[in-house]
Amino acid sequence: MTDLQTRLEAACRIATEASPVALQRFRGALDVESKADESPVTIADKETERAIRTALEAAFPGETIFGEEFGQTGTQNEIWIVDPIDGTRSFITGLPLFGMLLGYVAEGAVKLGVINMPALGELYAGAHGIGATMNGAPISVSNSQSLSSARLLLNEADKMAVDAPTQFSRMITAGALRRLGADCYPHALVASGHADAVVDYGLQPYDYLPVAAVVEAAGGVMTDWEGNALTLTSDGRTLTAATPELHSDLLELVRL
């Protein structure tokens, strides 16, 4: 069985080599389609996922791959998770904050993750028992322990304001500093100690599992809104915190 360090190194290499596939379409002419859930998809999403799948199949023949654009191939319990362009709306509008996510799930839990930011030239990676890095240098979360002094990032605020107005009304006055965002980069900022917490909403497994691996490898906490560990069947509402104490404050923030 391939060890976790080897898998992490391969995931970093595959994500890095896929960056030019996405970047060659960035800020170029794009035909945008709508998927069944009305989320947008472009040729860049599809080309990038094909490149990642081809590389994973070559590195780990026969292993299961679950991607956003082309679904699941294989039936093994160990699964590679792929989000080729996390933040297609950012990509379409020329924002350089779209990411590329890879994760590896075994025994029902995510074991490693990669958050690649092609337009920024930043690659965050982490695995259980190995730690987390950004472009190869070690990173870790902050020691923020109280929401009242935390740097809080709110993802998908428009959705939360409509679907969870009670909790959202608390969020917009919480923390010492708040910023509205989306997608994977806010979680990478927590993993690297630049932000302290993220509340996120409406995610899919390929959005939150790779990110959770990086956050946890950096020493942070990432769960659903009930405080449960994230799995393939979580409901897509997530809390990311630098410390257990801050995570407890976030649980209070989203409690009805």
Instruction: Walk along the chain (256 residues) in steps of 10 and give the mean pLDDT of each run.
Output: 90 98 92 80 93 97 94 88 96 96 95 98 97 98 97 97 96 97 97 98 97 98 98 97 98 94
3-state DSSP call for residue 107? coil
Amino acid identity at 147:
L
Q: Convert the pLDDT of each residue in 11-67 to its tens digit.
A: 999 999 999 999 999 999 888 888 777 688 889 999 999 999 999 999 999 999 999
- Rg of the chain over all Cα atoms, to the nearest angstrom: 17
**Separation between Cα atoms, residue 123 and residue 97, nearest integer Å:** 12
- At residue 38, the pLDDT reads 67
